[in-house]
Amino acid sequence: MSITHTAQGQMNFAQYLVHYLKPGGLITMMLLAFVCIGISIGLIALASRIMLAKEQPQQKQFFFTNEVVSLTERLYELIFSSTFILLFVAIYFSIDYFGTGNMPQGFWNKYNGVILLFFILASVLLISLVDTHIIPMEHVRPGERATMRLLGIFYMMAIFLWIKYVYNDANYDTIIMYFVTLIIGRFICFDSSIEDFRQPMSEAVKNLPLLALALMCSGIMALYGFSSDYLQKLNGVVLNLFIAQLFLLAAIFVIHHLSRRTGPFRRLKNPDDPGEQGDPG
């Protein structure tokens, strides 16, 4: 896949790095990321409060806190998915933009599609590492995690379709086809059935509001970043979207670990189940 640049060579890597590390833009983007994640958690809490309005008073706080924790961690899982897929796609496009370095250009031209596929697969492994060790998602069950990974693919398709049609950029058609293939491969196998397709899709539909929140966070970061010229289109929209997602990831890291220490979103012990142990956080 070859990429067309309209203004390649205007700035080198070091100049871009200096631009991104300017304190004014750095602090503003970080604060905006905290606002985005804070608003998302607030909307999750509000929706949970409304849905649990009919619960018994002694049960309401237990169910409310656990629902907020579960939904918030699922939102984080979605943002992880997009961030690390964007990371490897951004590396791919950066190699094409800034040059292949010591890699022979002929090798890159011949195998860049295969390299991109391996990058996407590597992103899945990195997501698993982060959500189990660096920012542990302790309350996302395996079935929910699989649903979030499926929604993450739709999340990325939405982003790349937005790039394609808003920026009238056909450079990402191959990547979009990779994600379509991943979605199809998620359901189609020799022993698959209608039920195998219906169940995960049903769970994905139930979590669409979380996908909307994740897209809202990404959209706000991108809108401000590009409009303020902190994010640059010249060195690749994908690279700059990844940078925006990094701020969201940093905000999640801080909020998640602070909440585990202070306990405002720690799972509670069920008052009707004396044998149940609350999570230590």
Instruction: Enumerate residues 6+ apart whose C-beta is below 8 A from 29.
Output: 221, 224, 225, 230, 244, 247
Size of the chain, expressed as the number of residues it contains:
281
Q: Who contacts 242 (Cβ-Cβ below 8 Å, separation ≥6)?
A: 83, 86, 87, 89, 90
Residue 134: per-residue pLDDT: 72
Domain residue limits, the chain: 24-262
Dist CA 241 CA 247 (whole Å): 10
Contacts 24+ apart (CB under 8 A), 267-272: 267/65, 267/66, 267/69, 267/139, 268/61, 268/62, 268/65, 268/66, 269/62, 270/59, 270/62, 271/58, 271/59, 271/62, 272/58, 272/59
What is the amino acid identity at position 176?
A: I
What confidence score (pLDDT) does residue 141 get?
Answer: 73
d(CA 199, CA 221): 33
- What's the N-to-C CA distance of the chain in angstroms? 46
**Could you list the pLDDT tens digit for every one of the 281 residues in the chain?**
444 444 444 567 788 889 999 999 999 999 999 999 999 999 999 998 888 776 666 666 667 788 888 899 899 988 988 888 888 778 877 776 666 556 677 776 777 777 777 777 777 777 777 767 777 777 777 678 778 878 888 888 888 888 888 776 666 777 777 767 766 665 555 445 556 567 777 888 899 999 999 999 999 999 999 999 999 888 778 889 999 999 999 999 899 888 876 655 555 555 555 444 444 43
Tell me how far apart the 2 most distant CA atoms of the chain are, in Å: 68
pLDDT of residue 1: 43
Cβ proximity of 211 and 82 under 8 Å: no
Q: What is the pLDDT of residue 102?
A: 62
- The SS3 of residue 56 is coil
For every residue of 181-227, DSSP letters joined together read HHHHHHH--TT--HHHHHHHHHHHHHTHHHHHHHHHHHHHHHHHHHH
Global pTM value: 0.79
Q: What is the DSSP string of 66-115?
A: HHHHHHHHHHHHHHHHHHHHHHHHHHHHHHHHH--TTS-HHHHHHHHHHH
Looking at residue 237, its pLDDT comes to 85
Q: In 10 A of CB 17, how many CB atoms?
A: 10
| Token output for 113 | 């599609």
pLDDT of residue 279: 47
